[in-house]
Structure 1
Amino acid sequence: MGGVTSTIAARFAFFPPTPPSYTVVADAATGRLLIPEISRPPARRRRRDGGGDSSSGAAAAEEEDATEVVRLRTRRGNEIVAVYVRHARASATLLYSHGNAADLGQMYGLFVELSRRLRVNIFGYDYAGYGRSTGKPTEYNTYADIEAAYNCLKEKYGVPDEDIILYGQSVGSGPTIDLAARLPNLRAVVLHSPILSGLRVLYPVKKTFWFDILEC
């Protein structure tokens, strides 16, 4: 019974964009994963004197080179998509768990802007069932998703806990708190418009029900 009611609660809590706003392809020459909707060759503007590319074109090229797309296998058997936006002078890395009704294609512009303005690296990922990630969006899948993202930062990119800031927005506050509770040496934890629980997204209930999800 608990599984059935939790599934119903999950349907109220998770709203992945349909269809996804992006696709993932492999570059034929390098095998590098790309999101065509965001990984376009930079638009290069000509100087008025007809000379070479402007500095904005060079900046766009650097931005594209600094973004990496990866697929990660979670402990629950799903394959999730993540993007790593790097800043040359980053002082920290944000592990960003985005809000509801959004996916990486829609979030990428914000990631780039945050990276530039805050001088940080941004590692964002799509939950199971969001974007091009496989599986279904459930409470326990989100916990496995953020764990896979964290492990990637540690194992693939060598980022220490002391440089990681967990950033959870809306429904992303659930997996953010779950992971943060097990990592005492993080740089910081940021909760942006956090939810109280899955049911409380839609209903102003004051009780905690046994079948509720993402209780923060």
Structure 2
Amino acid sequence: MSFLNYVFGPNLYMEYRGVPEPQRKMYEAGAVEKFGEQILSTLSVMWSVGYYTSPLLVTFLYRRGYLVTDSMPTLAKITTSVGIIVILSLVMRGLGRKQSRSYSNMIKALVRAKSAKAPGDANSELRRFDIEFNAWPVDFDVKALTGDTKKPVATAKRREPIQLATLPCEAIAYLAINTFGLSMIYPGSVKLLQKLMRPMLISGRAKLIEDDNGIRYKVKTIDSNEIDTLFIDNRPNNVGNGKTLVICSEGNAGFYEVGIMATPVALKYSVLGWNHPGFAGSTGTPHPHQDKNAIDAVVQFAINNLGFAVEDIILYGWSIGGFSTLYAASVYPEVKGVVLDATFDDVLYLAVPRMPAALAGIVKVAIRNYCNLNNAELANEFNGPISFIRRTEDEIIAEDNHIDTNRGNFLVLSVLKHRYPNIFGASQLNKAKGLLSKPLEPYSIPVADEKLCMSRLITYASDEGKSFPMNIGADYSEEVRNLMAVFLLRKHLRDYNSTHCTQLPGEFFTMPWDIPTEQGFVFT
């Protein structure tokens, strides 16, 4: 085994030994490796801080006269000294790792996995270790698919052509979104935050792997990003839920290791979690087109590698993960259903209030042209069962915790208006807004009224099909429309008395409601 494999090999975080959670231990490096790694880690943090503060740093150095020809020898000495320190630290790290039995076993397993002829062939041995994921071999490459199963690549698209008059605003918007803007929308992509959260992520991943028999996979997207995923297979348990796969899309600072997977896992579903591009082990950046390609690759992996039918997949999205979920639903309309928790209609209406009023125009250009997370548009492209969970104490997607400003309200009403345009007229929308301006009361519609509403829907769907928008309700009275509107609202939306980031209890994760169809059913 080459010494360079130890010097430049990935960090080892944990070796799985099948022990209960309290007895699990992180990989403990020897004194030599630890000293070298601490120096490299410190330099890495300094580089990260310097990168994010580079405009201030360059200005400071320039004003102090360090960025002139006379200062070049001094800068060269500093650079050389840092280089020598890095080289010595790398050698120390390599020597320490070579003395570690755990690290030696890991690096041997990694070399064998990388030399395997087919993706994933030798990864079972490597899965005993939790390592830096960039070294992990690819288990599934969506580019290898051929025929109709391969979807077109999503690319960055502008909504409007560039105009000369707006060019300065366009330039500022582009720079903003590609420097600090995207990090504000997706703080989970900030490497410094990930470094601080690393122990928590390692612990969460170990729990999923050792307690729930999870298997970690690397999925390569059509645009060559590598997505960190984890799959828990409950099909062998022969329970009803295990035959259904729940694909979980996390929020803007969420990771599958400590995220929403816990809810469907507790209910014994088969579950597939993944991290957005640029989050933890996933490469790339969370630009919308990269996120679309990521969720597409994850679904393709579930179908072609894990062996699930599209009809057996539920797409589950929390917060900004609703965008990924709804995009996947628009591409794979045959999925079993969509569950959206604490999700908004359009990120623009969340971004503008959080920025100075004078910058509203730039914010709009930046969002619409470079980060257009418009869930309402995507939701209207999906015809299948969909359900919404609203957090009544949501402090993220509601202004000042006022429930009537919760952007989830607007998403629900947008979907219902699109699906049932003749039922949700102006009067019914106002009535629905009134209901949504406070926590929903316990569902108490009379049984006779519920049967009446259901019968009307079944009759129409049996005769005309369930494609949306439905023309049902054109000849209804205002009273019947009001009754149907409340019925449909309550069938699609549930309230959870909680803040934005609380784990969703299992009782709220249910199969989305759908209109049953009965051949030959006639309403009487």
* Normalised TM-score (structure 2): 0.32
Q: Give the Å deviation of 1:6.
A: 5.0
Q: Where does residue 341 of structure 2 map in the other structure?
A: 192
Per-residue Cα deviation, 1:3-47 (whole angstroms, up to 9, x for no partner): 816546533321116125348xxxxxxxxxxx85345599xxxxx
Q: Structure 1 CA distance, aligned partners of 2:187 and 2:298? A: 21
What's the counterpart of residue 372 of structure 2? Answer: 213
- Say which of 304, 307, 311 aligns to 1:158: 307
CA RMSD of aligned residues (A): 2.9
Alpha-carbon displacement from aligned partner over 1:140-171 (angstroms, at most 9, x marks no partner): 11101101110110111110011000111111
- The structure, 1 or 2, with the larger RCO (C-alpha pairs under 8 Å, 6+ apart) is 1
Paired position in structure 2 for 1:100: 252
Give the match's secondary structure for 1:202: helix
* CA distance in 2 between partners of 1:41 and 1:106 (Å): 10
Distance in structure 1 (CA, Å) of the matches to 2:314 and 2:302: 12
Equivalent residue for 1:68? 215
- The share of aligned pairs that are identical, in percent, is 19
Q: Does the 8 Å CA contact 1:93/1:163 hold for their aligned counterparts?
A: yes
Contact 1:10 1:198 in 2 (8 A): no
Residue of structure 2 equivalent to 1:115: 265
Distance in 1 between residues matched to 2:229 and 2:277, nearest whole Å: 11
For 1:99 and 1:73, locate their aligned partners in 2 and report how far apart those are by CA, in whole Å.
21
Distance of aligned partners of 1:37 and 1:184 in 2 relative to their CA distance in 1, 3 Å threshold: same
Summarize the Cα distance change of 1:141–1:182 in structure 2 as closer, same or farther, 3 Å threshold: same
More helix by share: 2
Distance 1:131 1:69 in 2: 13
What is the aligned partner in structure 1 of residue 450 from structure 2?
none
- SS of equivalent residue, structure 1 residue 94: strand
CA distance in 1, matches of 2:220, 2:284: 11
C-alpha contact 2:347 2:372 (8 A) present in aligned 1: yes
Matching residue's letter, 1:97:
S
Q: Which secondary structure state, in structure 2, belongs to the residue aligned with residue 137 of structure 1? A: coil
Among residues 230, 254, 257, which one is paired with 1:83 in the alignment? Answer: 230
1:85 is aligned with what amino acid? Answer: I
1:131 to partner: Cα distance: 1.3
- Matched-pair contact (CA < 8 Å) for 2:245–2:314: yes
The unaligned stretches of length 5 or more in structure 2 are 1-169, 354-359, 376-524
Give the aligned residue type for 2:245: T
CA distance in 2, matches of 1:41, 1:124: 14
Task: Find the aligned partners of 1:39 and 1:192 in 2 and give their Cα distance.
Answer: 23
Q: Which residue of 2 aligns with 1:37?
A: 203
Counterpart of 1:71, as a letter, is: K
| Pick aligned residue for 2:295 from 146, 158, 163 | 146
What secondary structure, in the 3-state scheme, does the structure 2 residue paired with 1:142 have? helix
Any conservation in 2 of the 1:22–1:105 contact (CA below 8 Å)?
no
Q: 1:171-182 residue pairs with structure 2 within 5 A?
A: 171-182=320-331
Q: Which residue of the partner structure matches residue 194 of structure 2?
A: 19
Does structure 2 conserve the Cα–Cα contact (< 8 Å) formed by 1:67 and 1:85?
yes
Alpha-carbon spacing, 1:116–1:191, altered in 2? closer, same or farther (3 Å) = same
Q: Which has a greater percent of strand?
A: 1
Equivalent position of 2:430 in the other structure: none
Native 8 Å contact 1:104 1:125 kept in 2: yes
Following superposition of structure 1 onto structure 2, how do residues 126-145 of structure 1 map, counting pairs within 5 Å?
126-145=275-294
8 Å CA contact 2:225–2:277 kept in 1: the answer is yes
Counterpart of 1:201 in structure 2 is 350
SS in 1 for 2:339: strand
Q: Is there any run of 5+ residues in structure 1 with no aligned partner, and where?
A: 24-34, 43-59
**Counterpart of 1:100 in 2: which secondary structure?**
coil
Max Rg structure: 2
Which whole-Å CA distance do the structure 1 matches of 2:184 and 2:204 have between them? 30
- When normalised by structure 1's length, the TM-score is 0.72
CA distances 1:70-105 after superposition (whole Å, capped 9, x unpaired) = 111111211110011222221311111011212122
Deviation per residue, 1:94-148 (Å, 9 max, x gap): 11101121212222xx52443222x311111001111121111211111011011
Q: Secondary structure at the match of 1:181?
A: helix
Secondary structure of the corresponding residue to residue 203 of structure 2 = coil
Q: Distance in 1 between matches of 2:313 and 2:248?
A: 10
The question of whether the paired residues in 2 share the 8 Å contact of 1:6 and 1:213 is answered with: no
